[in-house]
């Protein structure tokens, strides 16, 4: 849903927004509504775009699912223009209480989880300059995936949304934020030249 949201906030409504994924089926309606240029992926980490193509690349809940996160970061670096930005969100936090409970209750959870230090090191190793890293979603959204119909469901959804809105406050409280569901990073592609 990132493409749809970005289109809404762009000043230049004619900007090219691209999207790619291995699975297209369940996202078809979203692709049409967002009017993004969609490219199905055929390789586990190679991206079908030219070098230095994008100003910004957003990975929203993706990096933890790819076959090889290090190779994927190298590809993102390749397709970004010099001084372009990589924004990665919804990386599962290795200290997340929701991930912990999912594992305890055997509800799945992510096989790959990250710490701020780990993602910072991965970005640096791939050539990025980390600009900002942090935690988000102390209270995960539970209502965003349902479409309530009755009064009881709407009331529950409203309560959950209000709890979710508290994130902007608790994400700043130490040590609570360290147990957030996710982490984010903003990094920039920088080309450094050595001058002697």
Summarize pLDDT for 116-125 with one digit per residue, the tens. Answer: 999 999 999 9
Whether 81 contacts 55, CB under 8 Å: yes
Q: Is 23 exposed, middle or buried (0-12, 13-18, 19+ CB in 10 A)?
A: exposed
Residues 6+ apart with CB under 8 A from 38: 18, 19, 20, 21, 24, 31
Summarize pLDDT for 92-112 with one digit per residue, the tens. Answer: 999 888 888 877 887 777 788
Summarize pLDDT for 19-44 with one digit per residue, the tens. Answer: 888 876 777 777 777 778 888 889 88
Summarize pLDDT for 106-162 with one digit per residue, the tens. Answer: 777 778 889 999 999 999 999 999 999 999 888 776 544 444 456 666 777 777 777
Centroid of chain to Cα 17 = 16
Domain ranges of the chain: 43-140+179-189
d(CA 67, CA 94): 18
d(CA 30, CA 21): 13
What is 43-140+179-189's CATH number? 3.40.50.150
Please state the pTM of the whole predicted model.
0.80
d(CA 58, CA 17): 11
Tell me the H-state helices in 12-150: 28-34, 69-79, 97-104, 116-125
Question: What is the rounded average pLDDT for all residues in the chain?
Answer: 82
């Amino acid at each position: 849903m990132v493409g749809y949201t970005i289109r809404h906030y762009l000043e230049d409504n004619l900007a090219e927004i691209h999207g790619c994924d291995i699975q297209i089926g369940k996202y078809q309606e979203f692709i049409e509504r967002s009017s993004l240029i969609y490219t199905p992926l055929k390789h586990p980490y190679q991206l079908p775009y030219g070098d230095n193509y994008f100003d910004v690349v957003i990975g929203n809940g993706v990096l933890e699912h790819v076959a090889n996160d290090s190779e994927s970061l190298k590809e993102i670096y390749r397709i970004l223009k010099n001084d372009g930005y990589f924004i990665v969100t919804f990386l599962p936090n290795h200290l997340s209480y929701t991930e912990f409970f999912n594992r305890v209750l055997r509800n799945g959870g992510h096989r790959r989880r990250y710490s701020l230090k780990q993602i910072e090191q991965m970005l640096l190793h791939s050539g990025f300059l980390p600009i900002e890293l942090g935690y988000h979603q102390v209270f995960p959204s539970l209502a965003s995936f349902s479409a309530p119909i009755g009064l009881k469901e709407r009331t529950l959804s409203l309560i959950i949304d209000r709890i979710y809105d508290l994130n902007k406050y608790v994400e700043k409280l130490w040590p609570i934020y360290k147990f957030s569901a996710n982490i984010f990073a903003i990094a920039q592609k920088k080309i450094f030249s050595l001058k002697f």
